[in-house]
Each structure stands twice: as structure tokens, then as C-alpha cells.
């Protein structure tokens, strides 16, 4: 994450094409995710889908990560390994994926509530996604990273939730992780200025309990310190004047989910 890359209009459109593949993949996952299937089966679906659409999984072999998706269940926050774990009714399943399409990178995450979830879990999902949308509203030229960060934090503040601090959003597009970092907490008017041509991922990671995290021995998985639930939503935004240009919306996913 050593450099800020400002993108041309042409590059932004190429990133949008990559994002379209990823958005459609998340919708495919929405169709099949249910109790009784393994998280590894979702990873295989992702690998095949991305390859079939002319891309490669951006996460696969990234710093040695061995899968196409990060799948984090319940108290896992991010970077969970797909496995033989059988998804249960009531689980929260965060699916985080990336696509490399002709050298242009997209990155997004959606947390699915599977089957009948608790009212507590539903509220956590709603608040986390709501905080993302509040952050996205601030992603316009002339604002600062801190305006995004504080919008996320202020939305979460009325709830007794923990905002993860060790992991943050980031620039994206030519590489999976670019500058600037985009924390989910901070002060309005602080941090790097948002300028046209910047493409960023905003990704609140919100815990139902304490903000603290536990790093697993596998070198990747991060879970809550108290075993309580966590949720994670991530969208990509190109910085423009006046209004955010959301390169990857959840419209396709939520259309599928509304019919289930």
C-alpha cells in the first residue's frame, strides 16, 4: 500500500467492468447460499465463475492466500478460509471476493444472514450496511478520508457495537491494496484529501460485542475477541465531484435475496 494511484476515465471504466463480474458473482452466491452447503463449495463456484468470465480471482495466491474467497462465519470478522464447514441455519456468512479482469482489480464483501437469523444478528447486519452507505455518501472530491471514517463511526455510535480498528478500507484498482487507508473511525475534516481519479474500498467491520480482535495461527483469519458476531460490507467508489460513483452496488445481490 505504498502509493496512491489516480485513475484515468478509461481505467475507471475497466475497473467498473471488473466490478460488474464481481457483483454478478455475489448474486450467484446469494442464489445458492443456504444451510447444508460447505463454504468450500462457494469458493469453487467463485473460482469457476470468475474464470468463465475472463478473469482470475484477485485473492488467490495474494501473499500466499490459498483461496478465491475469504469466507468468515459468525464470530470470524475477515479473511476466513473456505473449508468443509457446513453452513447452519442462523449463521452470518461474510463473503469477500476480488476479480482481476485484464489487470484491473475489484474487491467487495457482503454478509449473508442464512435461513432464520436472530433479531440481534439482523440489527448488526442492518447497522453495518447502513454505516457503509453513510460512508459512501462522503466519498466525493474535496472531502477527506476522515469524513468517510467519521460518518461510519457516527452511524454505529448509538449501538453498543465495537468498530474494528486493526483492519481498514483502502485504495484499489490497479492493485488489490493501494493508498490511502480508509479507517472506519476518525474525525471529520482529517486525513488525506479525496480527489478525482481515486478509487477506494469502504468496508466497515462491526462487532456485536467488543472491538478487539484475535489473529489466528493460520496467518489470515481474524475473529472477535469475545466470540460475538461480526458483520462486514464493502463497496468500491470512484471519487467524483458532487456525487459518489459507486462501481459495485449490492443491487443484484439484494434482488436475488428479496425473492428467497
Answer yes or no: is 177 a known binding residue: yes
Answer yes or no: is 79 a known binding residue: yes
Give the position of cell 448474486: 27
CB atoms closer than 10 angstroms to residue 169 = 29
**Nearest-angstrom CA–CA distance, 112 and 125:** 8
| Structure letter (DSSP) for residue 197 | T
SS3 74: coil
Answer yes or no: is 96 a known binding residue: yes
Answer yes or no: is 203 a known binding residue: yes
Answer yes or no: is 48 a known binding residue: no
| Structure letter (DSSP) for residue 226 | T
Taking each helix axis as running N to C, give the angle between helix 145-156 and helix 119-137, from 0 to 180 degrees, rounded to the nearest 10: 160
Of 116, 117, 98, nearest to 108 (Cα)?
98
C-alpha cell at 120: 440481534
Of 107, 106, 135, nearest to 206 (Cα)?
135
Annotated binding site: 79, 96, 107, 170, 177, 203, 234
Annotated binding site for a divalent metal cation: 96, 107, 170, 203, 234
Annotated binding site for substrate: 79, 177
Amino acid at each position: 500500500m505504498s502509493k496512491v494511484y489516480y485513475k484515468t476515465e478509461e481505467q475507471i471504466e475497466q475497473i467498473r467492468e471488473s466490478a460488474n463480474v464481481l457483483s454478478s458473482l455475489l448474486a450467484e452466491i446469494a442464489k445458492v447460499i443456504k444451510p447444508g452447503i460447505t463454504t468450500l463449495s462457494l469458493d469453487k463456484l467463485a473460482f469457476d465463475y470468475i474464470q468463465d468470465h475472463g478473469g482470475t480471482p484477485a485473492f488467490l495466491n495474494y501473499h500466499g492466500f490459498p483461496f478465491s474467497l475469504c469466507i468468515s462465519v459468525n464470530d470470524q470478522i475477515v479473511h476466513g478460509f473456505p473449508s468443509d464447514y457446513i453452513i447452519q441455519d442462523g449463521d452470518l456468512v461474510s463473503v469477500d471476493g476480488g476479480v482481476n479482469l485484464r489487470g484491473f482489480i475489484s474487491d467487495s464483501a457482503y454478509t449473508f444472514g442464512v435461513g432464520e437469523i436472530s433479531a440481534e444478528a439482523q440489527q448488526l447486519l442492518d447497522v453495518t450496511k447502513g454505516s457503509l452507505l453513510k460512508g459512501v455518501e462522503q466519498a466525493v472530491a474535496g472531502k477527506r478520508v476522515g469524513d468517510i471514517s467519521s460518518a461510519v463511526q457516527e452511524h454505529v455510535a448509538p449501538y453498543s457495537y465495537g468498530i474494528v480498528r486493526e483492519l481498514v478500507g483502502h485504495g484499489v484498482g490497479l492493485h488489490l491494496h493501494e493508498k490511502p487507508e480508509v479507517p472506519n473511525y476518525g474525525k471529520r475534516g482529517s486525513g488525506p484529501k479525496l480527489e478525482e481519479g481515486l478509487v477506494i474500498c469502504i468496508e466497515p467491520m462491526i462487532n456485536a460485542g467488543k472491538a478487539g480482535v484475535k489473529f489466528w495461527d493460520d496467518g489470515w483469519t481474524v475473529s472477535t475477541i469475545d466470540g460475538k458476531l461480526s458483520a462486514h460490507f464493502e463497496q468500491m467508489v470512484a471519487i467524483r465531484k458532487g456525487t459518489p460513483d459507486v462501481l459495485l452496488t449490492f443491487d443484484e445481490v439484494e434482488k436475488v435475496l428479496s425473492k428467497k
